[in-house]
Structure 1
């Protein structure tokens, strides 16, 4: 297997490898997992595989989880369909920088995304290195956000356009969790910025240290949160991947964000994703 780094920030393409072989090959899987820790997102082209093989490979990283708003593949509940067609126009929430499912108390460790069908042009996906984003923050910002926590919401994102009864029912099922603003990676120990499009507000900002007068809290706290969320949009922290049929991306959701570029309507884009259960952020 060859590993070719794609940018200075993150991302590498794997060549001369068949991912399905790693289902039963411990040495190969160990090499892939180490490459993921090193590069944060991996790309592999020309990987035709069944949903069963896709799920079996992803399960080498851990247990798979479904999604409350996405259809699952027949016989493989761990494989969800992210299918966009002219009859199913892209939803507004998709093209925003985010870590997957931080509206869960325990967000995913990562995902394995396989391209089933893509537009001839467009439909790229971008990833951002949130460890680098944290590392390059001004020191006074790092000091300000040390120990801060923030609320993440499915209700205010995926469910915002739904009827109020559906929205409140889903919120009861997935109460808005609180996560650290700066997360420590459980395997590498590195710190990353952990706020994104699902983040609504800080939960412990309003203290005597931070708030002298009302405007220190609002708009002060909201301006700081917006500044932190915008860090993912800095090009020097990013890699951009152009899809082709049977291409696969594997990413570490604990230290990256991604953005699905919606520039391909009315073309069809069908992606199958296996999402891997993670651990509680700290």
Structure 2
């Protein structure tokens, strides 16, 4: 029988001053059918942006069951999903697979979608003895600590995000064009507002290709103000995710999980373990249109 929220004493251990907390004394599988417990976990997620739990002996059905309480699950157009559990993506790096480098870049999941994911629940199935950590970044803190003149400059700016220039880059030309036809470049504000907390969030990452409304008289006096001036600004903004003061790093163990708010964070899967084996399963949760 699931434990009730009243009897489940969640111990919250913040891992940094701004982002990340490890929860003790709770099983996410209990929250699949416990409304009060689920509500408390959701509250903690909004506060800490990414939650970590160890020893979560959950089935795939419980994995997608909890994640789907946060919203509908979505497939990935390139990675696919488990045939018995739609929305559950297997990210398996074993001896038969080649190292892939789409994860070891600081990114916010699927911002090439018109409606990027709200978040995700990632469970460790198998991990190396050493290595294979994941880093998350607080992009609300990154925005708050930008210089005032940069915050003023980027107010109202919008940018394009592309699957063609990321996942599509290794595909044959025709297949890459078909991918872009299915998922045209998305346009999002450079600074989005979190729909639940009201926080301002710096919303550019490795999927971002360029600004779409930078070339105005206020920004461009001469051609070099736009090229390379705009790309210099975009590079500066995307580099903020690499600031250690905005980050938390998690060392995986089997049956540990991470639940993160994709609207306010970026993450980076450290690929320092090849040829060791690393197997993860992720449920991605559909989101809203950034504004």
TM-score category, normalised to shorter length:
over 0.9
Question: How does 1:150-169 map onto structure 2 within 5 Å?
Answer: 150-169=159-178
The residue number in structure 2 matching 1:244 is: 253
The answer to whether the aligner puts 1:43 opposite 2:87 as a matched pair is no
CA RMSD of aligned residues (A): 0.6
Q: CA deviation at 1:92?
A: 2.1
Contact 1:129–1:255 under 8 Å retained in 2:
yes
Secondary structure of the residue aligned to 1:14 is strand
Q: Where in structure 1 are there 5+ consecutive unaligned residues? A: none
Separation in 1, partners of 2:48, 2:99: 29
1:241-278 Cα distance to aligned partner (Å, 9 max, x none): 00000000000000000000000000111100000000
The residue number in structure 2 matching 1:54 is: 63
Q: CA deviation at 1:115?
A: 0.4
1:190-246 Cα distance to aligned partner (Å, 9 max, x none): 100000000000000000000000100011000000000000000000000000000
Question: How does 1:188-199 map onto structure 2 within 5 Å?
Answer: 188-199=197-208
Secondary structure of the residue aligned to 1:159 is helix
Separation in 2, partners of 1:3, 1:69: 36
Question: How does 1:262-281 map onto structure 2 within 5 Å?
Answer: 262-281=271-290
Question: How does 1:1-282 map onto structure 2 within 5 Å?
Answer: 1-282=10-291
Separation in 1, partners of 2:268, 2:193: 22
Q: CA deviation at 1:71?
A: 3.3
Separation in 2, partners of 1:189, 1:44: 26
Q: Where in structure 2 are there 5+ consecutive unaligned residues? A: 1-9
Aligned residues: 282
1:157-196 Cα distance to aligned partner (Å, 9 max, x none): 0110110011000000000010000010000111000000
Secondary structure of the residue aligned to 1:240 is strand
Q: CA deviation at 1:72?
A: 1.6
Secondary structure of the residue aligned to 1:77 is coil
Q: CA deviation at 1:85?
A: 1.3
Secondary structure of the residue aligned to 1:13 is strand
Secondary structure of the residue aligned to 1:127 is strand
Contact 1:185–1:254 under 8 Å retained in 2:
yes
